[in-house]
Amino acid sequence: MLLTLRQIMQQVDRAATLDDALAMAVQQAQKALSLDACAIYLKDPEGDTYVLVASDGETPPMLEPLGGEPGRRLVTVVGQRRELIVELETKVQPADGAPKDLTELAAGSFLGTPLIHYRTLLGVLVARKPAHQPYAADEVTFFLSLGAQLAKLVHEAAAMDGVGRLLRRDARADPYIQAVSAASGLAIGIAVSAEAQTRLESVPDRVAADPVAEEAAFNAAVAAARDELQAAGERLAGTVPEAVRALFEVQVMLLGSDALVSDTVDGIRAGNWAPGAWRTTIAHHAQVFEQMDDPYLRERAADVREIGQHVLMHLESRVRAARGTPQRCILVGETVGLAEIAAVPAPCLAGIVSLHGSPLSHMAVLARALGIPAVVSLAHAPELLDGRELVVDGDEGRVYLESSPALLKDLQKRLDRKRTRSAELQALRALPAQTQDGVQLPLYANIGLPADCAAARISGAEGIGLYRTEYRFLLDEALPVEDEQLRDYRQVLEAFAPMPVTLRTLDVGGDKVLSSFSVQEENPFLGCRGIRFSLDRPELFLIQLRAMLRANAGLGNLQVLFPMIGTVSELDEALHLLARAERELVAEGLEAARPRVGVMIEVPASVFLVGAMARRVDAFSIGTNDLTQYLLAVDRNNVQVVTPYDALHPAVLDAIRQVIDTAHRFGKSVSVCGEMAGDPAGALVLLGLGVDALSMSPPLLGEVKRAIRCLTHERARQLAEAALGMEDGFAIHRLLHRALDRIRACSGST
């Protein structure tokens, strides 16, 4: 039976549409199990009704899609119970609301299984045999497995709105491709492909006929790519704020990486031609980032691959054919880089569609700065978009294909409303995040490179709440020396002085592995992470601490933050090394300044040690991402176990409350720098819990500020109290979003 199932699913996967796939599945199941009938009902997501979308064989009353028919209620029972039901008339008691006498409703042997994917009930798969013909064990297993695979199929089809159109039986509905929003807004235009060269990953290895010539060609390509990126940034002068152009400096800096160049040269000298050696180097460095848990650092893999592609273009000596650009151009590509964006005349570029990528990419940052809607990571895309009219909906993360006049009219109304809202948020940029009863909550930015200071300043951030120093370490295989670190830290501190800047000490381990210190661990996320790594290698830790103290000289706006502290002894050892670094600098006659010191609360044990640590440090910063992950034992990157409500889990909120209350008893401040801080709903409950500051990705700051300015601190406190009295994150989510709905009606002038 399993072989039959595999063959059926191979046929189903080749179906052109969801309708065809489901029809084929029930047809083949009917034959495989010798059924009288087999059918699939999909659940209407907006109600509790089920719609018959595919059936095969004889259609008995129990399978007819009539709301009043008894069999329709049997389908409902399967959905209500969310379990496999075999021979319902004799083996299953009625669920609440089901008919009391089920035996009179089944004319044969009934078999039903729910279609569930990621805990969501999508529909029901049902079958019937003649009366008194039982199902064999392998037939039940076959049916259950078929239901599980069809559930996945239906879930994926929903990305194209296939389920909705199937339920509505509306062939005129506007089809769309579901993606991920990278930059908000709406745009209508003609798709233009950004692809113009061989993909780097497809480059083969080839013996270098002349290694010396290959090395020279490679160095020339790197130099040309670097010059081109610098020129592209200059072309944007006057189009975007000056600081945003610093994004190009990131890629220029990557091209100047000794590791990228030297590894490639080594590959060439070992006998590979330049493109093949470059491909190997880029793949290695990108993989290091891709395996990281931190979404910001993981996205740096895209930067590495993007410059890899750019250098390959010069290695191939290809010149892009001149082509006309539509007046309203939607730039489409497997990946869309900064150079591709800058190459399109600014008045023509209306939107961006990147089939792969992340909303954390520099492309996304630039798109937001340009005010251009962008989407990434399309769930599905036709083979050819080039030349088609597209609507890019950056708000919902959708791409519409050749939309109807009715949809275009609706989108235009939304665009008008969005422009009004954007103007309101822009007007708030220079205003404080202050409640209507006068309580002010500082809003800081999370960044990882000096170039990111630009976006943080533009957003109106009042300082840096989290600077991820590990990015510099992960960028090069060679560890950055003290002067290199000093230069980076000083640049960030000067950019915001006298506003506070929090530099987190090296936070590697887990999925963030330094190539120079590769450690094999069975469970790296519970291994040598964060402060444990730094304390194991005090010689590296002291170099970083010395660079931080020197960078603070004459400025005094630095706070050092120790990550992943789980014991008081770890904190004492870290403080001892900080004091030692200061003594060494004084003895050497180098200028330095003692900083404030903070501890990240992200290990559950640290929640209960705040009192002891408060006697030693100046402040606390709660990293809600890891704290949530460790408290709830869920991998926040695994969609099968994580939900949008985990950060609002009662246990997480109670832990945060406990940290704040204890720290405040000792007169110490508490900030939150996890994703929860950048969610307006999360920001409301954190404000009510008494947090002293929030730190988030720069693009999120405007909406959070708006929410804070549109309510009183007392109202936020009431919401927090109500949330703490609830028993699950979903209920808390509903409570806070009802409050947000009312807040969104608040005038932008507040």
Amino acid code (one letter) for 513: V
Catalytically annotated residue among 38, 453, 528, 673: 673
Long-range CB pairs of 585-594, under 8 A, 24+ apart, other chains included: 585/546, 585/549, 585/550, 590/550, 591/550, 591/553, 591/554, 592/546, 592/549, 592/550, 592/552, 592/553, 593/549, 593/552, 593/553, 593/554, 593/555, 593/556, 593/558, 594/549, 594/552
Q: What's 302-327 look like in SS3?
A: HHHHHHHHHHHHHHCCCCCCCCCCCC
- List phi, psi (to 5°) of 55: -150, 155
Q: Are 447 and 453 in contact (CB under 8 A)?
A: yes
Locate all alpha helices (DSSP H) within 690-747, ordered by sequence: 701-709, 713-724, 729-743
Angle at CA of residue 555, ends 554 and 560, nearest 5°: 120
Burial of 747 (0-12, 13-18, 19+ CB in 10 A): exposed
Residues paired with residue 57 on neighbouring β-strands, in sequence order = 37
Q: Which of 531, 330, 366 is nearest to 451 (CA)?
A: 366
Q: Are 581 and 590 in contact (CB under 8 A)?
A: no
Distances (CA, A) of 122 to 24, 119, 260: 18, 9, 48
Amino acid code (one letter) for 302: A
- Angle, helices 211-235 vs 258-269, to 10°: value is 150
Q: Quick one: how far is CA 506 from the chain centroid? A: 23
Which three-class secondary structure state does DSSP give residue 395?
A: coil
Reported as type and span, the H/E element at residue 599 is strand 596-601
Binning the chain into helix, strand and coil, the percentages to the nearest 5 are 50, 15, 35
Residues paired with residue 439 on neighbouring β-strands, in sequence order = none
Which DSSP string corresponds to 362-375?
A: HHHHHHHHHT--EE
Contacts of 353 (CB under 8 A, 6+ apart): 179, 191, 330, 331, 332, 333, 336, 374, 375, 378, 385, 390, 392, 399
The rounded distance, in Å, linking the Cα atoms of 50 and 217 is 64
CA atoms within 13 A of residue 467's CA, in its CB half-sphere: 28
362 flagged as catalytic: yes
Q: Quick one: how far is CA 233 from the chain centroid? A: 27
> What are the E-state strand segments in 194-301?
none
Amino acid code (one letter) for 260: L
Distances (CA, A) of 345 to 182, 342, 732: 21, 7, 47
Look at the block and give the residue holding tokens 């990015």: 471
673 flagged as catalytic: yes
Catalytically annotated residue among 285, 310, 314, 362: 362
For residue 210, give both structure tokens.
Answer: 């002349």
The rounded distance, in Å, linking the Cα atoms of 665 and 558 is 24
Contacts of 110 (CB under 8 A, 6+ apart): 62, 74, 85, 86, 87, 88, 89, 126, 127, 128
End-to-end CA distance of the chain: 66
Q: Are 71 and 52 in contact (CB under 8 A)?
A: no
Q: Which of 340, 327, 324, 330 is nearest to 389 (CA)?
A: 330
The rounded distance, in Å, linking the Cα atoms of 36 and 58 is 6
Q: Taking the CB of residue 615, how many other CB atoms lie within 10 A of it?
A: 9
- Residues labelled catalytic: 362, 673
